[in-house]
């Protein structure tokens, strides 16, 4: 089957999370991703997270559709082999600190000489130039520096991170988007180019009205926890056996909500006629809503409100999500055979193409599993003899 990136060869010098997520996204779309690993253990994520049958499921989840090649890039021979690989590759992805790849002998000039068609993607904390370019980066620090943390948390409490390392994943996704765009340019012009994705820049692009309102007014958003800063009612409300999340985003949806719970008359109540008044009387309003909702169960309210056109759900934990009928219908939990390690469950494909869909063509590789195979493809001796004697 032809996938969007079938025939695209990606040399993957990344490790940990942001870079491997990017190359996984490319691999899911059909690219041949060659993961270069070195040292005693390869990518440190092989030893991170929970392991089953001697396999890290964290590693397995983010390295599907890749082949692994063991190659010491600090050695002259390793560099020679990498150079040979880059000559026939389409994409190079790296998440070193800025300058490290150049120090290894692969600056932009050399890369352009080796292969002018090469797309070179860098994923960094802060970008490849500028006053912070040399700083090491880590998700928690970028959540802090980007402003994301400052907006999160209940009123009157300190800023709070999100537990998922969201800045890594956003940067990896933007890098993948940039790479496919650069490939499209190259398909027409024959010229590769640089793609730079930064964790901080990516995260800053995700704030919607929080940044635009700040830029327009100079007023900082206040932390409001699960209450919306400028809309009421909004948040978690109590039913007879659990909370529901309700967010009527327009007056039309609010009227539907209040009608369904028997409070339609509040739209004419002088205390609640406008959003500003509802914000002011929020406590009173929320209490009235909670009282109405106590007449039925969480499951029933979720069904009744959604049927009536009011967005409604509940706070699910990760276990509920992984068993959620919608997630299963959407094949968001995959069960993949990993030879020697049994079946591995992992999250599925977040974007679905009907004609040339994402697929797991092969599971995450053992460290160095494909070294000999890739050496053969390069026309090198399987025993890894130096290029000069193999050529």
Q: Which residues are catalytic?
A: 168
Q: Across the strands, what pairs with 69?
A: 36
181 touches a copy of itself (CB under 8 A): yes
1 touches a copy of itself (CB under 8 A): no
Nearer to a copy of itself, 26 or 81 (CB): 26
Pairwise CA distance, residues 131 & 149, whole Å: 22
Nearer to a copy of itself, 178 or 374 (CB): 178
CB of 304 to a copy of itself, least distance (A): 12
CB of 75 to a copy of itself, least distance (A): 21
Nearer to a copy of itself, 184 or 385 (CB): 184
Pairwise CA distance, residues 254 & 270, whole Å: 16
Nearer to a copy of itself, 34 or 166 (CB): 166
- Classified as helix, coil or strand, 343 is strand
Nearer to a copy of itself, 12 or 139 (CB): 139
Pairwise CA distance, residues 93 & 101, whole Å: 11
Cis peptide before 233 (omega within 30 of 0): yes
Pairwise CA distance, residues 287 & 293, whole Å: 10
Pairwise CA distance, residues 128 & 297, whole Å: 53
Nearer to a copy of itself, 69 or 106 (CB): 106
Pairwise CA distance, residues 142 & 167, whole Å: 7
In this structure, how many other beta carbons lie within 10 angstroms of the beta carbon of residue 279?
Answer: 17
Q: Which of 69, 85, 169, 380 binds a copy of itself (CB under 8 A)?
A: 169
- Classified as helix, coil or strand, 267 is helix
Residues in region 2-41 near a copy of itself by CB under 8 A:
2-5, 17, 25, 29
Residue 19: half-sphere exposure toward Cβ, Cα within 13 Å: 31
Q: Which of 54, 109, 187, 383 binds a copy of itself (CB under 8 A)?
A: 187
Which string of x and - marks every residue 138-167 that binds a copy of itself (by CB under 8 A)?
xxxxxxxxxxxxxxxxx--xxxxxxxxxx-
Q: Provide CB contacts within 8 A for 258, sequence distance 6+.
A: 264, 266, 267
Residues in region 321-360 near a copy of itself by CB under 8 A:
321-322, 324-327, 329-330, 332-333, 345-356
91 touches a copy of itself (CB under 8 A): no
Q: Which of 83, 104, 206, 255 binds a copy of itself (CB under 8 A)?
A: 206
Pairwise CA distance, residues 298 & 241, whole Å: 6
Which string of x and - marks every residue 241-280 that binds a copy of itself (by CB under 8 A)?
----xxx-xx--x---------------------------
Q: Provide CB contacts within 8 A for 297, sequence distance 6+.
A: 239, 240, 241, 242
CB of 239 to a copy of itself, least distance (A): 14
Q: Which of 73, 110, 177, 279 binds a copy of itself (CB under 8 A)?
A: 177
- Classified as helix, coil or strand, 43 is coil
136 touches a copy of itself (CB under 8 A): yes
CB of 148 to a copy of itself, least distance (A): 7
Nearest CA among 121, 90, 92 for reference residue 8: 90
Q: Which of 190, 319, 339, 340 binds a copy of itself (CB under 8 A)?
A: 319
CB of 105 to a copy of itself, least distance (A): 20
CB of 68 to a copy of itself, least distance (A): 18
- Classified as helix, coil or strand, 133 is coil
């Amino acid at each position: 089957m032809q996938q969007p990136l079938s025939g695209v060869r990606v040399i993957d010098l990344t490790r940990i999370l942001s870079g491997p997520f990017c190359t996984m996204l490319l691999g899911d779309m059909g690219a041949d991703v060659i993961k270069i690993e070195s040292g005693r253990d390869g990518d440190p994520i092989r030893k991170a997270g929970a392991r089953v049958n001697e396999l890290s499921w964290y590693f397995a989840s983010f390295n599907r559709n890749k082949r692994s090649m063991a190659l010491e890039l600090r050695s002259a021979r390793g560099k020679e082999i990498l150079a040979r690989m880059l000559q026939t590759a389409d994409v190079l992805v790296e998440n070193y600190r800025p300058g490290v790849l150049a120090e290894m002998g692969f600056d932009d000039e050399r890369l352009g000489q080796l292969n002018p068609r090469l797309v070179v993607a860098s994923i960094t904390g802060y970008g490849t130039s500028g006053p912070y370019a040399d700083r090491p980066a880590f998700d928690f620090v970028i959540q802090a520096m980007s402003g994301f943390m400052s907006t999160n948390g209940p009123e009157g409490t300190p800023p709070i991170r999100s537990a998922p390392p969201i800045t890594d994943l956003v940067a990896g996704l933007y890098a993948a988007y940039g790479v496919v765009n650069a490939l499209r340019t190259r398909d027409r012009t024959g010229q590769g180019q640089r793609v730079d994705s930064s964790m901080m820049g990516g995260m800053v692009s995700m704030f919607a009205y929080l940044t635009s309102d700040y830029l327009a007014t100079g007023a900082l958003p206040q932390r409001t926890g699960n209450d919306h800063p400028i809309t009421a009612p909004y948040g978690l409300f109590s039913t007879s056996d659990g909370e529901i999340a309700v967010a009527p985003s327009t007056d039309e949806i609010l009227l539907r909500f209040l009608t369904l719970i028997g409070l339609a008359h509040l739209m004419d109540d002088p205390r609640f006629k406008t959003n500003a008044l509802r914000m002011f009387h929020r406590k009173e309003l929320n209490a009235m809503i909670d009282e109405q909702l106590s007449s039925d169960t969480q499951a029933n309210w979720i069904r009744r409100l959604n049927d009536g056109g009011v967005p409604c759900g509940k706070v699910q934990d990760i276990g509920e999500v992984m068993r959620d009928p919608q997630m299963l219908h959407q094949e968001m939990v995959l069960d993949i055979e990993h030879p020697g390690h049994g079946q591995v469950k992992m999250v599925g494909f977040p974007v679905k193409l009907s004609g040339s869909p994402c697929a797991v063509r092969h599971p995450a590789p053992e460290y160095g599993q494909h070294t000999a195979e890739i050496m053969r493809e390069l026309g090198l001796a399987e025993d890894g003899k130096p290029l000069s004697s193999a050529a």
